Amino acid sequence: MRDDLVSALRPLLVAEARAEAPASGAEPGDLEQAVWLRLLERLDSDGPPADPHRWLRSAVRFEARRSRRTTRRERPYENEPAADTDRHDPEHLALAAARHRALRDAVRRLPGRCPRLMEALLSPNDLTYREIAGELGISQGSLGPERSRCLGCLRRLLTPEVAARSARG
């Protein structure tokens, strides 16, 4: 049943995700992955949707809206020294060490596979997605959505530690 539903919905999902991705700021593959996950959760809890094609279209649009909201809320840090500055004064070094400590502590508190994934992404070895996927034993195509979920969790953990910024404009 699941295989038939997935086979029937795959072409529609690919087309809908490609159509919605440019306006949402997300990759089509990320939208597809999120909708497949949502469908699996739905199948486990409520069973298949009454009108799968309609459900899929609305799920893609929901995920695209969610991605747009996330993109709108993300703002670069202001007044942060550039990463390539060669400042070696004690104050700069102490602040950088505190930021790194807070980040590493938050990464360790992440749920599931997120700590291992984030450690691999933060590795000084600059691993490729293929190497990270092999190390974690997951498919390379799942890394983007998994990374996105982990970064969302990390953002929520760090929010209390970072002062809230006012919206620009």
Neighbouring CB atoms inside 10 A of 117's CB total: 23
Cα separation, 148 vs 154, whole angstroms: 10
CATH of domain 90-161: 1.10.10.10
pTM confidence score: 0.46
Q: Break the chain into its structural domains and give their ranges.
A: 2-72, 90-161
Q: What is the pLDDT of residue 95?
A: 87
Give the pLDDT confidence score for residue 3 in this predicted structure: 81
pLDDT tens track for 53-93 = 999 999 999 999 998 888 777 776 666 555 555 567 888 88
